[in-house]
Structure formats: C-alpha cells, structure tokens
Structure 1
Amino acid sequence: LTVISRIEQSRALAAQARSQFFPQLGYQGYLSKGKNSAGGMPASMGGTTNDPAMIDLDAFWEVDIWGRIRRQNEAANAMYMATEWARRGVMLSLVAEVAQAYYELLELDLEMQIACDTKKSFSDTLKLFEDRFQGGIASELDVARARAALASAASTIPFLEQQILAKENQIAVLLGRNPEPVENRGRLLERTLLVDIPAGLPAQLLERRPDIRLAEENLKAANAKVGVAYTNFFPTISLTSFLGQVSPELSELSDSNNSAWGVLGGLAGPVFQGGRILAEYDRAKAEYEEYRQQYLQTIIVAFSEVSNALTAYHRLKEVRVEKQKAVTAYEEAVRMSTERYVAGKAGYYEVLDAQQQLFPAQNQLAQTDLAQRVSVVKLYKALGGGWSLPSEEWKKAQ
C-alpha cells in the first residue's frame, strides 16, 4: 500500500509539472465603496459617493526558451517511472519469497515423512529385538539401545510439526491472509518438476530487473535536475495578458465603453544571489554522480547474483546425484544388516548404525532438493522475472 501511495504521489507530481507547458488562466475582481469630500468640507457634510468595480480574465505563460519546464517534466516523469519500477520490484520479491517459502514447506513435509518412516523402522527393529530378547537370543542392552533410537527419531516429529505450522503462517502473511493451513499441497518436493534452464542466457534479460530500471530512472531524474539547475542562470521570459471591465460605478460595469485589455511581456533574471544558484547547480551535479555510481553498482550486483544462482543450479545437480547414491547405499546397508542380524551373523550395532546413517542421509537429500529449487527461484528473481524472451528477441540477443 505504501508503494501504491508513492506511485499516486509521483503521478500527480508529473501531471503538475506537465501543466506548466500551458498558459495559466485565472480571474479576479473587486468592488469598493467610498465618498469623496467636496470644497474642503468633511465627507459627512457633502461630496460624492462612488463604488468602483473591476472584473477581468488573466492569462500567464512562461516561454520555455531555456528548457527549464521541459527538464522539470523529464525529472517528474522519471521519478514517476521509478516508483512504478519500485512497485514491480516489490511484486517480484513477493513472488520469489512465496515460491521459496512453499518449497521450504514441501521440504519440511518430506522431512516429516522421512521422520515417520524412520520411527516406524526403529519401531520394527525394537519389536525384533524384544522378540529375540524374549527368546534369549538378544541381550537387554540391544533392547535398550533400540528404544533409545526409537525415542530419538520420535522426538523430531513434534519439532517438525512446529516448523511446518510456522512456515504455513509465513506463507499466509506473505499472501495477506490470516494464519491457516496450506491445503492441497500436491506432490512432495522430490516429485515437483525442476525446470531446465537454457544455456547462454542473454545479458538483455537483466534489462527487466526492477532494481536496474529503478536506478536508471533515478539517474534520468538526476540528470534532468542538473538541467533545471543550469537554467536558473538565465532569465525567465513570460507573457501576461488581461481582458475585462473597469468602471468607477458598479452600475456602469457592463457598459461596453468600460472594457479594458492589456498584454505585458516580462523578463526576470538573477543579478546577485550570493552564490546560491551556483551552489544549487553543484549540488545537482553531485547528486547525479551519486545516482550514476548507484546505477553502475546495481548492474554489478545483478551480474553477481545471476552468476551465483546459475553456479548453484548446476553444482547442486551434481551434489544431488551423489546424495542419491548415498541414500541408495544406506538403504541397501539397512536391508543387508537386518538380514545378517536375523541370521545371527551380525550384532545389533550393525543394524542400528545402518539405520542411524540412513536417516540423516535422506534428510540431506531432501535439503539438496530444496536447495536446487531455491536456486531456480533466486535465478528467476535475479533475471527480473524468468529467462524467457520472445523468439525474435532471443535470436537477436544470441
């Protein structure tokens, strides 16, 4: 809402500046009543009473020889566009935040599923140990450690439930809603499609970034303000005219013989201002240099963010392949150690150790899936809203 209010303010200021191109029309009038003394006698003892009146239509127009009004309009329009790009920047950030929060929620769902599966696995192991303990095959130590592993796995579930609730509330706040569960979450994180990003993204995509366009419009406005400050060294030329009726008596105001008109050309300029105009010009130039540096820095940051997001996207693909290999290997280790334990060829430690290594490996794989999708979201934001261009523009850019 704050951004929208600023846009409305900037739009109004731009319209206000644009109005200076046109003549300013106005009207005025007056009516007075008085009595003049006669023959040196007091007005109360004689004389004449009069009630002069006047009404006219005025016009004023400043001739924009030096471009002051034109440059003021350039500055106002650039400031308006800057607020519009600021709005788009807020919207882009909001979309990216919602997408990232949603992926984080799906990742927490996946961790919850892993935790529940792990709890069930440890529960089955505990039952196996208890049965073997009852049969005199396993020791009480085996059972105790199996119970500890089960309790440790179960303790993560309430913590994950709290995190899921907090993430749902975060999404609701971002969407401007009351805190509520996110329904119909669809597929889990590992099943969501990971988009393919084409190679050789053209630099023209960065031209859509709201922060770059915002910095560009601020630079345009600052440049126009330098022009405005420069025109203050020169005189202003104006034309003033009026057309109306003037009469010494109100009753004769409408008489055509009492009409009046006039045209006046004006010239006004500085002679001595104590250095004020020069100081204002220097300030405008310094402000322009500040915005120029900000513009260049914004471009550098944009290239850096795109590079970081692209690097993360490609490297995380490699990381995920290795994480998946680790999970597959640990799953096989759990299966084999359980079979060996049942056959009496291995102790309880092998089974619990394999299960305890599988749990964090699965979580790391889920976190890698999340990091992959977050890297896509960051690239989407870094490119100002995605990497798609119309086919003709794409060919031209390449």
Structure 2
Amino acid sequence: MALPSLFFRIRPLALALSLGGLGGCMLGPDYQRPALSMPVEYKEAAGWKAATPRDGEAHGEWWRAFGDTQLDALLAQVEVSNQNVAQYLAQYAQALALTGQARAGLFPTLRGSAGMTRSGSGGGTYLTSGTGSSTSSGSGTSGSSGDGAQSTSRSVSGISDTYSAQLSLSWELDLWGKLRRTLEENRASAEASAAELANATLSAQSSLAQNYFQLRVLDERIKLYDINIRSYERYRQVVRDQYEEGQTSRATLAQAETQLESARASSLELQWQRAQYEHAIAILIGKAPAEFSLPVAERFDYRIPEASAGVASRLLERRPDVAAAEREVAAANAAIGVAQSGYFPDLTLSASGGFQSSGTKNLFTVANRFWSIGPSFSQTLFDFGATRAEVDQARAAYDAAVASYRQTVLDALGEVEDYLVELRTLETELAARRRAADAARESERVTYDQYQEGMIDYLDVATTQSTSLSEQQSALQLVATQLVTSVQLIVALGGDWQGGAEELAEAR
C-alpha cells in the first residue's frame, strides 16, 4: 500500500473518533457571570443634567468634549508612543498567540522526517610476523617468533547505510473537553488582556488630560501673579517716593516691599510646578522631558463637558477594568474543567508510515515501505491526591476571581458617586468663590482710592490687595479641580470605551 493511500484510510477513522471526542462531555461548570447587586441609579446623580448625545464624534475620543485642540493632539500620541501602553499591547499579542496555540491543539499534528544512518558490526583478525625472540597472542591475533620478521593482516565486517523517509500523525482526542476548556480559558484571558490594554490606555489618557489642565490653570495663575507684581512694583515706587519725601514711614515702605517679594516668590513656586507637569506630559507621550515643551497659551478657553451618569449597570460594559475582572472570572471557571480532566484518561491516535532502504535509488518503492497505526491511552492511576489538589486550587482561584470582580465593581460605583457629588458641589462652590473674588477686587479698588485721598494707611491697601489676589487664585484653583474632576468622572464612567475588541474576532 502506498503512503498516500495509507493516510486516506486512516483519516476517516481518525476524523470519526475526533468528532466523537469534540462532541463528547465537557468537564467543569459552564460559565455564568457572577450575580451582582447593582443599584438602579446613582445616589449622587439626583438632578444631574443629561448629556447631549455625541453620536457624531469618533468612538472612544472622550477628550474632544473639552474642545481643546492642543489636548486632542497630545492625547492622540498616547496610544502610539506611551511605553506602558506598548507593554500591555505586547501582552495582548501574547495572549492572542496563546489562544491560537490552544485552538491548534484541537487538530492533528503531522510531522515529517528524513535521515541517513551509517552502522557497522563484528570484529577483525590481525597477524604479525618477523624476527625476534618472543611470541604473543590474543583475541583476533596470532603469531610466532622465527627469524624475527613480522607481518599483519586485518579483516573488518561490512558497514551499511540506511536511508529513511517518514510521516507521522498524532491526534489527542478531546473526549472530556480538556482541550476545549483550555481554549475557553485562553480566549477569556485574551479578552481580559484586551480590556487591560484599554484600561492602561484610558489611564494614561486620563493622567495626561489632568496634567494638561493643571498646567494650563497654572499658566493663568502665573499670569495673574505677573499682573499683580507689576502693580505692586508701581505701588512700591509710589511709597518709596513718599518715604524719601518724608510723607510716610519706613514701616509702610517695608510693607510694600514685603507684598511685592511675596508675590514674586509665589509666582516662582508655580513655575517649577508647571515645569514638572510639562515633564509628566512628555513622559506620557513617550518623549524625554528635554525633547518636549508646551508653550503658554495666549488664551485659555475651557469648558466643562456634560457627562451622563446613566444607569449604574452600564459600568459592566463600559469600564475596561470591570470587563477585565469579569473575563478573569471566566478564565478561572474554565480552568476548573481543565483540572478535572486529570481524573480521566487521555486518548491519542497515532499513525506513521514511510520508506526505508539501504540506498536512495529504490527508496520509494512498495517493497521498502512500512507503517503503523494505533490508539494510545494514558491515565494517572495514583498520585496521592495531586489531581484533587489541582481541582481544589482551581476552585479557590475561581472564588478569588469572583471576589475581585465584585470588589472592582464596588470600587467603580464608589468612584462614580464620589466624582458626581464633587463635581456638582464644585459648580456651586466655584460660583461663590467668583463672587467673593469680584467683591475682593471691588474692595481693593475702593481701598486704594481711599489711600490716594489720604483717608487710610497703606497697610489697609496691602491687606485688601492680598485678599483680592488670594480670592482670584482660589477661584482658579477651583477651576483646575473642576476640570480634573470632570476628567475623572468621564474615566470612572468608562470614557467612551465599549467592551469587545475587534482583534478578538480572530481568536474566537
């Protein structure tokens, strides 16, 4: 029988056995998402303004709601250049490869080999003759001493060469679902890896947006200090002139100088803080700080986007960290079935065939062919409870994954509630702070007019100016907090991320 005919005869039997195995029982529990007690709505979302739909915007680009083109350009570089994201991307590629490897295990493996072997056997005989006075003999040797002449002879058995060409087929039949559960486990792990990649990307984007807004508000605060410093320089000069003319005291001049230098020191402190935010942004887009600079914007126009909290259950689909935790539960569930398969035997169908000859000329002939076929069973008969321990370990790992999943959901709900109440309160607080800043500026103006008219001392002017500057700075700090909290709320709600990466279609 020729080799191709042999494999055509083997294939129907193997295919039937394999299909029977693939359709056989599946060990381990079928996966069901763990039950969760989800609130219908958020506690702190009462009276929350519904967001305007943004269906026309690119999916996932949540930052565009802030309307800042510079921020858009920076965030677009995170997925491309951020090295933490690149690390998770590589891990996701690895998970996809493991899924492909597990899927390949459901099908037969065909190997081919070809080789040449040289071998020999037997011994030899040696004869030595010549002149001398001694005679020696041993295995394979004889001789005598006569006239001292010596002679040697050797006989060696033949050396043979063997040439072979062979194909071998092996197929582990998935009778108990071990291979399918392994594929299920790896597929869930790949989906978890995809969600972790999305979570790492979202986290990097969130950090960049927060740093960006902090930097922009610092620019505004530095500008405010610069304006006040120029005013304080003029005030000090006026007071100095008055002091030199004997119209005011040395204490008044010292007060004006203290006010000026204090403002300069505060401005310098904000400048190094700004530099650190700039460095952080550079790292987030994969650049060395020396290679990146963000110029001061001529004007900082910001807007707080409307964020819809929606129903709480949407977190299960929208937050990538929640999705990753849930997929880890699915992987742990499949691992139970893999562990339970250790109680049952493995069945492997193997077949091989080929040609073997002492020469290459007539190697591929019917007379030189050989073949073999047969099933192979393997079963652990006694392992002192090792298999049972593996099953118990898998069940415990599943329970741990479920607890982690539920805790992740609780943490997510808590974050959303925190940012909802903070953002809602900040809106009212900022309005009050702006009213206070307006009142402080008016008080500063009136007080300075009174000082010009000689009605009050400069100490009163300095006090009202300091209060006015402090109120304006506090209002800007609240703007930064409001912007950062707005970013945090959007991210806590999952951004615009939706579970189910397109790449996983290849892994299914």
Amino acid corresponding to residue 332 of structure 1 in structure 2: E
Q: How far apart, CA to CA, are the structure 1 residues paired with 2:283 and 2:497? A: 28
Question: Could you tell me which of 323, 333, 342 is aligned with 1:223?
Answer: 333
- Check conservation: 2:95, 2:189, Cα contact below 8 A: yes
| Secondary structure of 2:165's aligned partner | strand
Deviations 1:367-393 (A, max 9, x none): 10000000011112212224999xxxx
Assess, with a 3 A threshold, how the Cα gap between structure 1 residues 136 and 61 changes in structure 2: closer, same or farther.
same
Question: Could you tell me which of 40, 56, 74 is aligned with 2:184?
Answer: 74
Question: Could you tell me which of 96, 99, 108 is aligned with 2:218?
Answer: 108
Deviations 1:260-310 (A, max 9, x none): 333212222221111111111111111111111111111111111111111
Deviation at 1:81? 2.2
Pick which of 248-257 and 10-19 moved more: 248-257
The residue that corresponds to 2:424 in the other structure is 314
The residue that corresponds to 1:123 in the other structure is 233
Deviations 1:203-231 (A, max 9, x none): 31442212112112211111111110011
Q: Does 1:197 align with 2:307?
A: yes
Question: Could you tell me which of 7, 16, 24 is aligned with 2:109?
Answer: 24
Assess, with a 3 A threshold, how the Cα gap between structure 1 residues 206 and 365 changes in structure 2: closer, same or farther.
farther
The residue that corresponds to 2:392 in the other structure is 282
The residue that corresponds to 2:151 in the other structure is none
The residue that corresponds to 2:200 in the other structure is 90
| Secondary structure of 1:262's aligned partner | strand
Q: Does 1:169 align with 2:279?
A: yes
TM-score with structure 1 setting the length: 0.87
- Check conservation: 1:205, 1:387, Cα contact below 8 A: no
Q: How far apart, CA to CA, are the structure 1 residues paired with 2:90 and 2:118? A: 46
Q: How far apart, CA to CA, are the structure 2 residues paired with 1:69 and 1:244? A: 30
Assess, with a 3 A threshold, how the Cα gap between structure 1 residues 351 and 243 changes in structure 2: closer, same or farther.
same
Deviations 1:27-61 (A, max 9, x none): 34564544589xxxx9x979887655543211111
Counting helix residues as a fraction of each chain, which structure ranks higher? Answer: 1
Deviation at 1:183? 2.6
Q: How far apart, CA to CA, are the structure 2 residues paired with 1:53 and 1:183? A: 75
Assess, with a 3 A threshold, how the Cα gap between structure 1 residues 185 and 203 changes in structure 2: closer, same or farther.
farther
Mind listing any 5+ residue stretches in structure 2 that lack a counterpart? Answer: 1-85, 124-139, 141-153, 500-508
Deviation at 1:21? 1.0
| Secondary structure of 1:21's aligned partner | coil
Q: Does 1:300 align with 2:385?
A: no
- Check conservation: 1:239, 1:266, Cα contact below 8 A: yes
Assess, with a 3 A threshold, how the Cα gap between structure 1 residues 307 and 116 changes in structure 2: closer, same or farther.
same
Deviation at 1:247? 4.8
| Secondary structure of 1:22's aligned partner | coil
The residue that corresponds to 2:98 in the other structure is 13
- Check conservation: 1:29, 1:56, Cα contact below 8 A: yes
Question: Could you tell me which of 175, 185, 188 is aligned with 2:297?
Answer: 185
How many residues align structurally?
382
Q: How far apart, CA to CA, are the structure 2 residues paired with 1:354 and 1:234? A: 85
Q: How far apart, CA to CA, are the structure 2 residues paired with 1:318 and 1:259? A: 90
Q: How far apart, CA to CA, are the structure 2 residues paired with 1:49 and 1:106? A: 87
Assess, with a 3 A threshold, how the Cα gap between structure 1 residues 64 and 363 changes in structure 2: closer, same or farther.
same
- Check conservation: 1:208, 1:384, Cα contact below 8 A: yes
| Secondary structure of 1:113's aligned partner | helix
Q: Does 1:148 align with 2:258?
A: yes
Mind listing any 5+ residue stretches in structure 1 that lack a counterpart? Answer: 390-398
| Secondary structure of 2:234's aligned partner | helix
TM-score with structure 2 setting the length: 0.69
- RMSD between aligned alpha carbons? 2.6
- Check conservation: 1:36, 1:49, Cα contact below 8 A: no
Question: Could you tell me which of 203, 208, 216 is aligned with 2:318?
Answer: 208
Assess, with a 3 A threshold, how the Cα gap between structure 1 residues 53 and 125 changes in structure 2: closer, same or farther.
closer
- Check conservation: 2:317, 2:498, Cα contact below 8 A: no
Amino acid corresponding to residue 470 of structure 2 in structure 1: P
Assess, with a 3 A threshold, how the Cα gap between structure 1 residues 206 and 343 changes in structure 2: closer, same or farther.
farther
